């Protein structure tokens, strides 16, 4: 009889499931909502989107009787309702950069890529989760801003506009779409540059610095180039009245989405080619 017990076969561990996109998305959602800067940035974007139109509506309403006809002609109710979009895009853009560069600065990106070696599912999950969160928050924000500003301006019938009026619903919801794509575009820039300061600088330069620089060009050049800039193309979707040089609401927005897709595509190529 042998003095050693007979070796027993190890229990089967079963078939290991691969990395699923849904699980990666759930992980990214957990990371997104657990970071304090996310909550503050989204809160700032929401407050600005709703609060500024209400504030502007109160100012316009209180000074309406003292305004000249020219000043009154420049106070469109939809411009007042969507005034917050012009400011909250900065908060959404900065957060979009931080969503990806924050992990590079802390080194957490190594853990993410260790868990998901193919890397690209991490980028797609970050983009999808962030876009969904931004859209879900911004749609009610712009709708509330519209109806709240209209309530403040109820004494001035010339400033009343119906949500069912042609183009109004598209412009209001377009403001939320614009903010969502702004965030995705900024995330793509952050993934390309991998540095928070650099990503924010690139985002601000493209969206806020480049358009005014077009004014140094000859007028014909300016009119030909400006409509194709990301900011100009994206803003067409929430403009009720289209400028003669604009691309049109959905054509401009499609081009803006193309810029965001291009940024993500470049980020995806760089992500699989360079070291963490």
- What the block records as the tokens of 178 is 């614009």
One digit per residue, the tens of pLDDT, for the chain of length 276 reads 445 455 555 444 444 446 788 888 888 888 888 888 888 889 999 999 999 999 999 998 888 877 777 777 777 888 899 999 999 999 999 999 999 998 888 888 888 888 887 889 999 999 999 999 999 999 999 999 999 999 998 888 888 898 888 889 999 999 999 999 999 999 999 999 999 999 999 999 999 999 999 989 898 999 899 999 999 999 999 888 777 788 888 999 999 999 999 999 999 999 988 765
With a CB cutoff of 8 Å and minimum separation 6, the contacts of 42 are 91, 95, 133, 134, 137
Q: Where are the domains of the chain?
A: 23-273
CB 88 within 8 A of CB 48: yes
Between CA 158 and CA 24 the distance in angstroms is 51
- What the block records as the tokens of 56 is 């502007």
Q: What is the CA radius of gyration of the chain?
A: 24
**pLDDT tens, residue by residue, 57-74:** 999 888 887 777 777 777
**pLDDT tens, residue by residue, 127-142:** 999 999 999 999 999 9
Between CA 207 and CA 96 the distance in angstroms is 14
Element (H, E) at 54: helix 36-63
Q: Give the C-alpha distances (Å, rounded to integers) separating 201 from 20, 69, 254, 266.
A: 34, 40, 24, 18
Q: What is the rounded end-to-end Cα distance, in angstroms, of the chain?
A: 57
Claim: this prediction has a pTM higher than 0.85: yes
Among 91, 6, 7, smallest CA distance to 47 is for 91
Among 235, 75, 81, smallest CA distance to 143 is for 81
Between CA 229 and CA 47 the distance in angstroms is 28
């Amino acid at each position: 009889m042998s003095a050693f017990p007979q070796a027993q076969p190890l229990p089967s561990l079963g078939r290991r499931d691969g990395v699923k996109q849904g699980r990666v998305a759930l992980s990214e959602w957990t990371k997104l909502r657990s970071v304090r800067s996310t909550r503050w940035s989204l809160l700032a974007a929401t407050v600005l989107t709703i609060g500024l139109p209400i504030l502007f509506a109160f100012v316009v309403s209180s000074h309406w009787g003292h305004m000249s006809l020219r000043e009154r002609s420049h106070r469109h109710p939809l411009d007042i309702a969507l005034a917050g979009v012009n400011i909250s895009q900065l908060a959404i853009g900065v957060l979009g950069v931080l969503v990806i560069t924050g992990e590079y600065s802390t080194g957490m990106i190594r853990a993410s890529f260790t868990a998901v070696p193919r890397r690209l599912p991490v980028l797609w999950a970050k983009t999808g989760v962030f876009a969904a969160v931004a859209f879900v928050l911004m749609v009610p924000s712009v709708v509330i801003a519209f109806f709240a500003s209209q309530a403040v301006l109820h004494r001035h019938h010339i400033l009343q506009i119906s949500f069912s009026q042609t183009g109004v619903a598209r412009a209001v919801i377009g403001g939320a779409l614009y903010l969502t794509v702004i965030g995705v575009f900024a995330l793509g820039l952050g993934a390309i540059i991998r540095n928070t300061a650099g990503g924010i600088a690139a985002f601000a330069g493209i969206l806020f610095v480049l358009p005014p620089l077009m004014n140094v060009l000859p007028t014909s050049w300016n009119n030909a180039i400006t409509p194709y800039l990301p900011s100009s193309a994206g803003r067409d979707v929430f403009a009720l009245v289209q400028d003669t040089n604009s691309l049109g609401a959905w054509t401009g927005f499609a081009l803006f989405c193309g810029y965001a897709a291009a940024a993500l595509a470049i980020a995806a190529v760089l992500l699989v080619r360079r070291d963490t």
